[in-house]
Amino acid sequence: MARQIVRRESGGAAVDWPETVPPLLRRVYAARAVESANELDYALANLEQPGLLGGLDAAIDLLEEALRKQQRIVVIGDFDADGATSTALCLRALRAMGARDLHYLVPNRFEFGYGLTPEIVAVAAGLHPDLIVTVDNGISSIAGVEAARQQGIRVLITDHHLPGSVLPPADAIVNPNSPGDEFPSKNLAGVGVAFYVMLALRTRLRQRGWFGQQGIQEPNLGRLLDLVALGTVADVVPLDRNNRILVQHGIQRIRSGQCVPGIRALLAVGRRDAARTVSTDLAFAVGPRLNAAGRLEDMSLGIECLLTDSEAGAREMATRLDALNRDRKEIESDMQTRALQSIQELHLDVQGLPTGLCLFDPGWHQGVIGILAARIKEQFHRPVIAFARVGDGELKGSARSIPGFHVRDALDAVAAHHPELITRFGGHAMAAGLTLDEAHYPAFAAAFDTEASRLLSGADLNHTIHSDGELQSEEFSLETAQVLREAGPWGQGFPAPVFDGRFRLISQRVVGERHLKLVLAPLDGGGQIDAIAFNTGALPGSCREVMAAYQLDVNEYRGMLSAQLVVEYIEAV
């Protein structure tokens, strides 16, 4: 796969930085278009106000009535980390505000599929709810909302996914991406939307004197920001300033030991220090273990892990989630091997692959196709959709995209030109899901490739690594690594700093299956530094000098901290 390293340029006007901001960070922030030091002020007072969200008054009317009449509320979640955190947040918040008849359902992906389907409404109807509240889903559930209305059940949709041309006939919809919505941050995750709805409900109840009437203490909803941070990072939504505020305060709660026991337990089984948590720990240690429940079994286990206040119970459930995650990795590894074999059987080089790559194997596990699509996308740098059978002649597809290709819009275009191919679809710019009849798979694969070829050039398929330039030899230090680590939160849309440069190769050895441990030395002098390149084979034995793109991070080993390079790309020169 062709790769090129492109150095970032300053994205705006000169900034009057405080003296406390070191020159390296000024360079990094400027390359992320930070135009004022105030943009890095993550005080909660700087959050966008809930009142800007469309549909909020109708939503709060429904929730206030449900509380005052102690009606039965059923929260319908989703089977990923965003859905799990959204569900847990709503249950915790509503209980704290006096709700006593609360239930939740999360669709099992193997039985019901995604969202508020008529089938999951039928299950919910067995609980006799007065109000269904969807979290992280619902904006495309036209048939499901109709089914609920026929049962006499009111529906409040909270979601962040892009809506289609027709909205469901719900009693209220809160979604910053709804047509005409004026909320400035369109990048809220599902848990962020749920948090804002709960903030608005608390304000309404405070104004009406509810807490005094009920003799309950007004809840501090800031205590739920650990859940908001986890769901936001795990869902890989862009970390605009508003999301960075939410994530930063959630991380601070985790570091101070004020998070729910489930997050602390998941960090522990992932061998991460809660007191030093950063966003990447949520992304790579907690999120995948939480997601493993929804991928292989039932997300109820993950939700219960986030709901329990028992440290022992959380540890037990986190251990089960960790075991499921190991199983997921084994399944994923096997599927990836088979996928690469399928690509090799096409007898094409990278340039000969379809621009929009569709893959299907009858034996693939539908819970892991999203991760598989992401892995293949990373390797071949093109939009990828992986498909698995779901029964009744249907295939489920999970799509992952590259910059410059809005995959949900591409599916919309395919559906417009070939309305017979796709049964249903939804998603974001970078990830989407769909179902179709297996008989339509070849025609769909061709149509998707045609749409991708129309929108992407050969240059778009080159894997570009964006670098923040070189580090000087004196900057390869634990102090610099700690400064960079604390300068986030980093994530999608606000990426962690990546640097590039040439090094002398002092030593190399393969650890695990394909991880490469290295000792490197900057060419401009100075000492040596340890480095790790994951999923990378050994360099040629004759190699004496390398070009590398890397992050400078903090490594902890047996209680000792040291600077380490985490290599994103390396080649012999």
Task: Spell out the domains of the chain, with CATH numbers in brackets.
Answer: 45-321 (3.90.1640.30), 346-461 (3.10.310.30), 465-572 (2.40.50.460)
For residues 233 and 191, give the distance between their C-alpha atoms in angstroms, rounded to a whole number: 10
CA-nearest of 306, 283, 164 to 224 is 306
Place 12 in a pLDDT band, splitting at 50, 70 and 90.
low
Structure token digits, residue 413: 């275009």
Given a cut of 90, whether residue 294 has pLDDT beyond it is: no
Within 154-260, residue ranges assigned H as helices are 190-207, 210-214, 225-234, 241-255
Tens of pLDDT along 123-162? 999 999 999 999 999 999 999 999 999 999 999 999 999 8
Number of H helices, E strands in the chain: 18, 17
How many other C-beta atoms lie within 10 A of the C-beta of residue 23? 9
Which amino acid would we find at residue 131?
L
Within 154-189, residue ranges assigned H as helices are none
Which residue pairs, CB below 8 angstroms and at least 24 apart, start in 275-278? 276/556, 277/251, 278/251, 278/485, 278/486, 278/488, 278/489, 278/490
Say if CB 519 and CB 528 are below 8 A apart.
Answer: yes
Given a cut of 70, whether residue 91 has pLDDT beyond it is: yes
Task: State residue 565's pLDDT score.
Answer: 98
Tens of pLDDT along 427-462? 878 888 999 999 999 999 999 999 999 999 888 888
CA-nearest of 96, 75, 95 to 86 is 75
**What's the residue count for the chain?**
573
Tell me the average pLDDT of the chain.
93
Tens of pLDDT along 208-235? 999 999 999 999 999 999 999 999 999 9
Instruction: Outline where DSSP puts E strands in 20-137.
Output: 73-76, 102-105, 131-135
Task: State residue 353's pLDDT score.
Answer: 87
| Maximal C-alpha separation, the chain | 78
Task: State residue 347's pLDDT score.
Answer: 53
Given a cut of 90, whether residue 527 has pLDDT beyond it is: no
Given a cut of 80, whether residue 197 has pLDDT beyond it is: yes
Sign (positive/negative) of CA torsion 291, 293, 296, 298? negative
For residues 141 and 138, give the distance between their C-alpha atoms in angstroms, rounded to a whole number: 5
Given a cut of 70, whether residue 11 has pLDDT beyond it is: no
Task: State residue 164's pLDDT score.
Answer: 84
